[in-house]
Amino acid sequence: MLHGRIEAHIERALQAGHDLSVREYSLLDVLSRQHSGEGGHLQMKQVADAVVLSQSATTR
């Protein structure tokens, strides 16, 4: 119950301040961790798994 309230508060704050959902923020976080070195580029499946989205939803 507390977790849900905290999550809802974070969702509202991100939406109000930056027009982002928690999932969108999570996606940006995952993408920002990519680098040009070996293993630094993620495949769509890895991105989808990291943000709990289907592969087709990730590419939209």
Q: What is the 3-state secondary structure (H, E, C) of 25-40?
A: HHHHHHHHCCCCCCCC
Whether the CB-CB separation of 44 and 58 falls below 8 Å is answered with yes
- Note the pLDDT of residue 58: 53
Q: How confident is the model over 4-59, as pLDDT tens digits?
A: 899 899 999 999 999 999 888 988 988 888 878 887 888 888 888 887 755 555 55
The secondary structure element, H or E, covering residue 10 is: helix 2-18
